[in-house]
Amino acid sequence: MNTYEKFLQLHHGKGPLLLANAWNVKSAQLIEKSGYEAIGTSSGAISDSLGYADGEKIPFAELLYILQRIRASTSLPLSVDLERGYTDNLGQLNENIQKLLDIGVAGINLEDTLGEELYIKKLDAIKNYLEKTGQRLFVNARTDGFLLKVPSPLETTLKRAKLYQEAGADGLFVTGVQDKDVIKHITSATSLPVNVVGVPSLSSVKTLTECGVRRISMAVFLYRSTYTHMEGVLKRILVEDSLAPLY
């Protein structure tokens, strides 16, 4: 079983796939060492760690280098937060996809923040390219209606779920949703495995499982937690006038 097949299978097991999001080699290695079954990346974490704002501000070549180092450091399936694809040109998009496939990426998240019309064109282009070249990649369709607070976000999400499934999406990633009843409505309305981010108001894996969620992401929260802890240690060293907090 290759990493794509394993990653696909993880979305259809007894319980949801709990996905920790890495930003460098060390974080990826700790995720594997801790017993997780797959690794995601966080665009926000990678960008911030290198001094860039999120939102495709990091050059794709720099992102690819980090992804290549992460993939080389772990045996786990790797899913990449590709934001909007780092281009709106469909030919260039497929070139980016091929570069990810070349380093062994098993899946991607692709955002629809520029609207469903362009998104479906991108999804069609990727799926046609994969079929033409005989390659496979798990495409997690990320829809941001709740995150962007569009009018009637639930109706928009359900409409897009149907459109994206018809266009060949392998999963549905709904961001910004924090109400368990809304999540239940979404998971019951689509056969796609639904992915959400665990948020402070809805952090129980058991509760999200009961809502029908098949994939739970940590997004940028693992990165923030790590550096919040580091900041606390650094402050304690100054306050206590001691290096003891390091040990």
Residue 243 DSSP one-character state: S
Number of compact structural domains in the chain: 1
Label the pairing between strands 17-22 and 107-111. unpaired
Total residue count of the chain as it appears in this document: 247
H helices of the chain, in order, are 3-10, 25-33, 43-49, 60-73, 90-102, 116-133, 153-166, 180-189, 205-210, 221-240
SS3 111: strand
Give the span between the Cα atoms of 169 and 166, in whole angstroms.
7
Domain assignment present for residue 65? The answer is yes
DSSP code string of 128-140 = HHHHHHT---EEE
Domain assignment present for residue 239? The answer is no
Residue 95's CB: how many other CB atoms inside 10 A? Answer: 13
Kindly state the tokens that stand for 233: 């240690």
Domain assignment present for residue 35? The answer is yes
Residue 140's CB: how many other CB atoms inside 10 A? Answer: 25
Give the span between the Cα atoms of 128 and 125, in whole angstroms.
5
Q: What is the pLDDT of residue 142?
A: 98
Give the span between the Cα atoms of 198 and 157, in whole angstroms.
18
Dihedral through CA 205, CA 210, CA 215, CA 220, nearest 10?
Answer: -40
Q: How far is CA 118 from the centre of its chain?
A: 20
CB 183 within 8 A of CB 189: no
Residue 18 Cα distances to 215, 217, 218, angstroms = 6, 6, 8
Give kind and range of the element (H or E) at residue 142: strand 138-143
Domain assignment present for residue 235? The answer is no
Domain assignment present for residue 189? The answer is yes
Q: Which domain holds residue 35?
A: 3-220
Domain assignment present for residue 155? The answer is yes
Domain assignment present for residue 226? The answer is no
CATH code of 167's domain: 3.20.20.60
Q: What is the pLDDT of residue 1?
A: 87
Identify any residues that bridge with 195 across adjacent strands, giving them in sequence order. 173, 215
CB 164 within 8 A of CB 123: yes
Domain assignment present for residue 241? The answer is no
Q: What is the pLDDT of residue 149?
A: 94
Kindly state the tokens that stand for 123: 């999804």
Give the span between the Cα atoms of 181 and 164, in whole angstroms.
22
The mean pLDDT values, 10 residues at a time, for the chain of 247 residues are 96 96 98 98 98 98 98 98 98 98 98 96 98 98 96 97 98 97 98 97 96 98 98 98 97
